[in-house]
Amino acid sequence: MNTSLKDKWVFITGASAGFGAEGARHFARAGANVVMGARRVERLETVAAECEQAGAASAHFHELDVACTKSVNIFVDWLKTLTPKLDVLVNNAGGAHGADTVAEGKDADWEAMVQSNFLGLMRVTRACLPLMVDNPGSTLINIGSIAGRVAYEGGSVYCGVKAAEKSITQSLRLELNGTGIRVGTLDPGLAETEFALVRFKGDAAKSNKIYEGLDPLVAEDIAEAMIWMATRPPHVCIDEILIKCTAQAAIHKTHRVAD
Ligand SMILES: NC(=O)c1ccc[n+]([C@@H]2O[C@H](COP(=O)([O-])OP(=O)(O)OC[C@H]3O[C@@H](n4cnc5c(N)ncnc54)[C@H](OP(=O)(O)O)[C@@H]3O)[C@@H](O)[C@H]2O)c1
């Protein structure tokens, strides 16, 4: 029997935009209690209101910077005042900063990517596991990327941290074997969110170019996959999902139509 999300507790990191915000709205529609964290609290407030409208059992938000252990611990202490157990954790917060070659790379970009995608995932998972270990059938979804599977020029650190995400996911699945927690990675390809705008530091012309001449994935495509992973029967663990838009056959081969 599939797992119902009704009244389940779901925590999504990076829920102020993109996959995280759309994931929150999808879990809300399924009747879950949705808990959201990100740095832009005003955005979270809007998403929480949308979740309530959509039918969430409840919607909660709090400032969270996954790059900071103190912020993660404050967040999870607050989370524990809402619920003693977590049914779904989506480690989604992250993204790319810059697209420089290694030769041109900037420390600040590298550090931001390592802190959010890699160490952030570790910190949040460590803090949340006590709320999941006595809850067989709970689901831990890490958002990886096609970039963690195939490297590309200008992507060294981003590809590296997403490759690390895959190793962490595998280690966790081994460490948690016997607890009944399902651990999986959800790896999107080219998807139109604020991802490219953040990567190119607000340069809209540059970020729009990434999506020119093709139909990229949208946040809803990834949110639907989150729901699917979390609603499998408790004996089923979805280890890995790779989702690409049809026009992206591989990281270096995308079919684009000129206007
Ligand atoms: N879009 C793509 O093509 C694509 C493809 C593969 C994988 N991904 C991955 O998917 C995930 C979501 O990205 P997206 O495409 O939805 O991008 P997005 O629209 O830019 O959303 C990124 C989210 O992550 C949050 N975030 C970033 N750093 C954070 C930090 N230090 N602490 C807390 N929250 C933080 C942002 O919130 P605040 O800024 O408010 O903190 C925002 O809510 C990322 O892990 C990304 O690497 C994206």
Answer whether 66 contacts ligand 1 (Cβ < 6 A). yes
Q: Is residue 46 part of a domain?
A: no
Domain that holds residue 121: 69-254
Q: What's the Cα-to-Cα distance from 29 to each of 8, 17, 87, 205, 236, rounded to whole Å?
A: 12, 17, 16, 34, 23
* Helix/strand/coil for 36: strand
Q: Amino acid identity of 89? A: L
Tell me the pLDDT tens digit for each residue of 181-203: 999 999 999 999 999 999 999 99
Answer whether 248 contacts ligand 1 (Cβ < 6 A). no
DSSP notation for 216-240? -EEHHHHHHHHHHHHTS-TT----E
Q: Is residue 238 part of a domain?
A: yes
pLDDT band at 2 (very low <50, low <70, confident <90, very high): confident
Q: Is residue 53 part of a domain?
A: no
Question: Structurally, how many domains does the chain consist of?
Answer: 1
Whole-model pTM above 0.95? yes
Residue 161 pLDDT:
98
Residue 64 pLDDT:
99
Residue 95 gets the label, from left (phi > 0), alpha (psi -120 to 50) or beta, of left
Q: Is residue 58 part of a domain?
A: no
- Angle 41-54/18-29 helices, nearest 10 degrees? 30
Q: 188: CA distance to ligand 1 center in Å?
A: 12
Tell me the pLDDT tens digit for each residue of 89-101: 999 999 999 999 9
Nearest residue to 164 via CA among 140, 144, 189: 144
The owner of tokens 């990191």 is 13
Answer whether 191 contacts ligand 1 (Cβ < 6 A). yes
Q: Is residue 131 part of a domain?
A: yes
Tell me the pLDDT tens digit for each residue of 160-178: 999 999 999 999 999 999 9
Residue 106 pLDDT:
98
pLDDT band at 3 (very low <50, low <70, confident <90, very high): confident
Q: Is residue 51 part of a domain?
A: no
Q: What is the CATH number of the domain that holds 155?
A: 3.40.50.720
Q: 259: CA distance to ligand 1 center in Å?
A: 29
Q: Is residue 13 part of a domain?
A: no
Q: Which runs of E-coded beta strand occur in the chain?
A: 9-13, 33-38, 58-63, 88-91, 139-143, 182-188, 191-192, 217-218, 240-243, 248-250, 253-254
Long-range pairs, 177-180, Cβ under 8 A, ≥24: 179/132, 179/133, 179/136, 180/135, 180/136, 180/137, 180/138, 180/234
Contact 241, 186 (CB under 8 A): yes
Active site residue 158: yes
